[in-house]
């Protein structure tokens, strides 16, 4: 499950209770409505029908609250199982409880009668609880979890490095030894820099079996309240998108996706205001660009496709300063004239992560470029990301900023 480093246990409990109340209320209302209509839509029937299902509804709320509080409801299969089992249990215990209250005396026939309610009256309840657990609970959990009470801090998604980082994909570089302990320390320092500059950092569920998963930028791109789950161009990286999707739901974002045969890596997407430059690279194909254009044009963005032949991703070559000036190492840029304003940097890998309107994060491997950016009036924070640079990563690819 994705974890916000600042999500308190109290917030988790509130989110679980909200999901439980929503699932139980929706199940109750829809079941009562079905039986009201089936029984001739007589107003005097509403209260008795509602009373009949009320004990079951309370049992269902309890089951959902327990499952949601351990985080299991975010996976669709757990949601379905919870809805089915919760609905069946609620239907069975609720009816039994109702009999108890009504003073029905227990005899050998009662249990078998209760069991038949599961495929009779209880069936509507079970179907309703399953649909509510599947479609409503995860969204509500994400929404409540993402409410940042008393905080307007921007969110950054990060993903802990895999112990197999050294096996990551390489396209333009030769494989060299990677110091995993150093990589962990560098990643922690990178995360601390984000936190120190006002970001609320949310951990995407780590995946030790996916060497490149730390490069979370490639798995999803965020446009306001819409997350676009990518379709990574490298086959080994495709499973990375599962947890990215989970995190997007967790944050309560509207989720769209690029589908095969379209491919698109987040590292090929550079946002500059409402212009979205998309690299047509070794990882992102024409179909991927077409799908992205179809998703974000209605949101007011203009997609500008950019040929990328010299480096891995568009953002391996260029990024943008807070004022929108595109910066990069000219020899790595196929055609700088495509950008409205382009400023050449003295070193390859001179990328920026915008931390605020006047502060950027850069790699310590590009000191001349950092000095040049500082000389333009920006505060430049530097971090060492040498172990990730060995895998063709840079400062941008280690996080996704939600804005």
Can 394 be counted among the known catalytic residues? no
Residues 260-279 that bind ligand CIR (CB under 6 A): 267
Among 234, 299, 304, 344, binds ligand CIR (CB under 6 A): 234
Closest-approach residue to ligand CIR (CB):
267
Q: Is 397 a catalytic residue?
A: yes
Neighbours of 286 (CB within 10 A): 12
Residues 188-207 that bind ligand CIR (CB under 6 A): none
Catalytic site residue from 249, 313, 332, 394: 313
Rounded Cα gap, residues 325 and 52, in angstroms = 66
Per residue, what are the HEC states of 142-161?
HHHHHCCCCCCCCEEEECCC
**Residues 122, 91 contacting (CB under 8 angstroms):** yes
DSSP code of 311? S
What span, in angstroms and rounded, lies between the C-alpha atoms of 392 and 253?
29
Applying CB under 6 A, among 53, 190, 215, 329 the residue interacting with ligand CIR is 215
3-class DSSP assignment, residue 333: coil
Whole-number Cα distances in Å, 126 to 106, 236, 361: 25, 39, 52
173 to 266, 333, 389: CA distances (angstroms) = 20, 17, 10
Question: Nearest approach, Cβ of 356 to ligand CIR (angstroms)?
Answer: 22
Asked if 167 interacts with ligand CIR (CB under 6 A), we say no
Provide the CA 125 distance to its chain's centre, in angstroms. 31
Which of the ranges 129-137, 166-174, 191-199, 242-250 carries the binding residues for ligand CIR, by CB under 6 A? 166-174
Residue 75 or residue 238: which is nearer to ligand CIR going by CB? 238
The span from the CA of 137 to the CA of 25, in Å, is 12
Q: How far is CA 284 from CA 11, 74, 400, in A?
A: 39, 29, 18
Based on the shown chain and the rule CB under 6 A, indicate whether residue 240 belongs to the binding site for ligand CIR: no
In angstroms, what is the minimal distance from the CB of 296 to ligand CIR?
18
Does residue number 281 form part of the binding site for ligand CIR (CB under 6 A)?
no
**318 is an interface residue for ligand CIR by CB under 6 A:** no
Q: How far is the CB of 211 from ligand CIR (least distance, A)?
A: 8
Residue of 217, 240, 246, 387 interacting with ligand CIR (CB under 6 A): 217
In the region spanning residues 169 to 188, those forming contacts with ligand CIR, defined by CB under 6 A, are: 169, 171
Q: Which one of 203, 212, 240, 387 is in contact with ligand CIR (CB under 6 A)?
A: 212
State which of residues 313, 333, 369, 373 lies at the interface with ligand CIR (CB under 6 A).
313
- Judged by CB under 6 A, does residue 349 bind ligand CIR? no
> Cα(24)–Cα(54) distance, rounded to whole angstroms?
10
Closest separation between CB of residue 278 and ligand CIR, Å? 13
Q: Verify binding: residue 391, ligand CIR, rule CB under 6 A.
A: yes
Nearer Cβ to ligand CIR (267/328):
267
Burial of 244 by CB count in 10 Å (0-12 exposed, 13-18 middle, 19+ buried)? buried
Query: What does the alpha-carbon distance between residue 34 and residue 41 come to, in Å, rounded to a whole number?
Result: 9
Residue 261: is the preceding peptide bond cis (ω within 30°)? yes
In whole angstroms, give the CA distance from residue 139 to residue 13.
15
Q: Which residues are catalytic?
A: 313, 397
Binding site for ligand CIR (CB under 6 A): 168-169, 171, 212, 215, 217-218, 234, 237, 267, 312-313, 315-316, 391-394, 397
């Amino acid at each position: 499950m994705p974890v916000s480093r600042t999500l308190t246990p109290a917030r988790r409990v509130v989110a679980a209770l909200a999901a439980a109340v929503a699932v139980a209320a929706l199940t109750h209302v829809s079941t009562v409505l079905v039986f009201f209509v089936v029984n001739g839509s007589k107003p005097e029937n509403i209260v008795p029908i509602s009373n009949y299902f009320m004990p079951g509804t309370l049992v269902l709320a309890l089951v959902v609250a327990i499952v949601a509080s351990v985080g299991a409801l975010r996976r669709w299969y757990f949601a379905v199982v919870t809805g089915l089992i919760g609905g069946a249990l609620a239907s069975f215990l609720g009816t039994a409880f109702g009999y108890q209250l009504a003073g029905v005396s227990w005899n050998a026939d009662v249990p078998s009668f209760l069991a038949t309610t599961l495929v009779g009256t209880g069936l509507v309840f079970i179907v309703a609880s399953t649909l509510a657990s599947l479609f409503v609970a995860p969204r509500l959990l994400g929404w409540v979890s993402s409410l940042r009470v008393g905080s307007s801090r921007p969110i950054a998604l990060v993903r802990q490095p895999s112990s197999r980082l050294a096996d990551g994909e390489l396209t333009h570089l030769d494989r060299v030894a990677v110091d995993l302990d150093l990589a962990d320390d560098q990643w922690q320092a990178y995360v601390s820099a984000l936190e120190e500059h006002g970001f609320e950092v949310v951990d995407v569920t780590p995946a030790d079996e996916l060497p490149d998963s730390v490069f979370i930028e490639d798995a999803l791109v965020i446009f306001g309240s819409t997350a676009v789950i990518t379709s990574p161009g490298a086959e080994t990286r495709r499973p990375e998108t599962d947890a990215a999707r989970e995190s997007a739901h967790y944050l309560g974002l509207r989720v769209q996706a690029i589908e095969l045969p379209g491919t698109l890596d987040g590292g090929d997407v550079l946002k500059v205001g409402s212009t979205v430059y998309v690299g047509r690279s070794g990882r992102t194909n024409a179909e991927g660009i077409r799908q992205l254009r179809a998703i974000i044009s209605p949101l007011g963005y203009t997609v500008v496709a950019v040929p990328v032949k010299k480096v891995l991703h568009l953002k391996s070559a260029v990024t943008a300063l807070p004022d929108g000036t595109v910066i990069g190492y000219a020899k790595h840029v196929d055609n700088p004239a495509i950008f409205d304003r382009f400023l050449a940097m003295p070193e390859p890998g001179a990328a920026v992560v915008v931390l605020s309107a006047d502060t950027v994060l850069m790699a310590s491997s590009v000191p001349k470029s950092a000095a040049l950016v500082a000389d333009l009036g920006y505060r430049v924070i530097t971090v060492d990301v040498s172990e990730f640079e060995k895998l063709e990563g840079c400062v941008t690819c280690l996080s996704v900023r939600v804005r």
